[in-house]
């Protein structure tokens, strides 16, 4: 959901299509330019526009297994740790 920080009014709310653990739900957010990356506890990375008018999903992909760690992002490199691996992805590489 998107809230107006001054008033607390909900600008928009988006339901569904996000897997999460019912008993240990966790989501991390990272702002990247005009977009926001969201990593949920099931290892799904979702990219959406940072737009107060509406939720617009750009892309989503499975990047790791279950996790409850905050990822890191710098210079196009996305780093996350799940229960078994430390993973580094080059998100700017077109190959």
Domain boundaries, the chain: 26-95
Q: Read off the tokens for 3.
A: 């809230």
Classify residue 30 by burial, with Cβ atoms within 10 Å: 0-12, 13-18, 19+. Answer: middle
pLDDT per position as a tens digit, 28-83: 999 999 999 999 999 999 999 999 999 999 999 999 999 988 999 999 999 999 98
Residue 14 pLDDT exceeds 60: yes
> Phi/psi of residue 80, each to 5°?
-145, 150
Residue 95 pLDDT exceeds 60: no
CATH class of 26-95: mainly beta
Residue 13 pLDDT exceeds 90: no
CA distance 35 to 23: 28
Q: Read off the tokens for 12.
A: 């928009």
pLDDT at 25: 80
pLDDT at 64: 95
pLDDT at 1: 84
Strands (E), the chain: 2-3, 10-12, 27-32, 35-40, 44-49, 57-62, 72-74, 77-81, 86-90
């Amino acid at each position: 959901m998107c809230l107006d920080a001054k008033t607390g009014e909900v600008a928009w709310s988006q339901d569904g299509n996000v897997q999460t653990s019912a008993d240990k739900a966790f989501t991390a957010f990272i702002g990247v330019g005009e977009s926001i990356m969201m990593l949920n506890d099931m290892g799904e990375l979702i990219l959406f526009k940072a737009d107060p008018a509406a939720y617009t999903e750009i892309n989503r992909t499975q990047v790791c297994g279950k996790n409850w760690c905050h990822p890191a992002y710098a210079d196009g490199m996305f780093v996350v740790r799940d229960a078994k691996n430390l993973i580094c992805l080059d998100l700017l590489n077109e190959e």
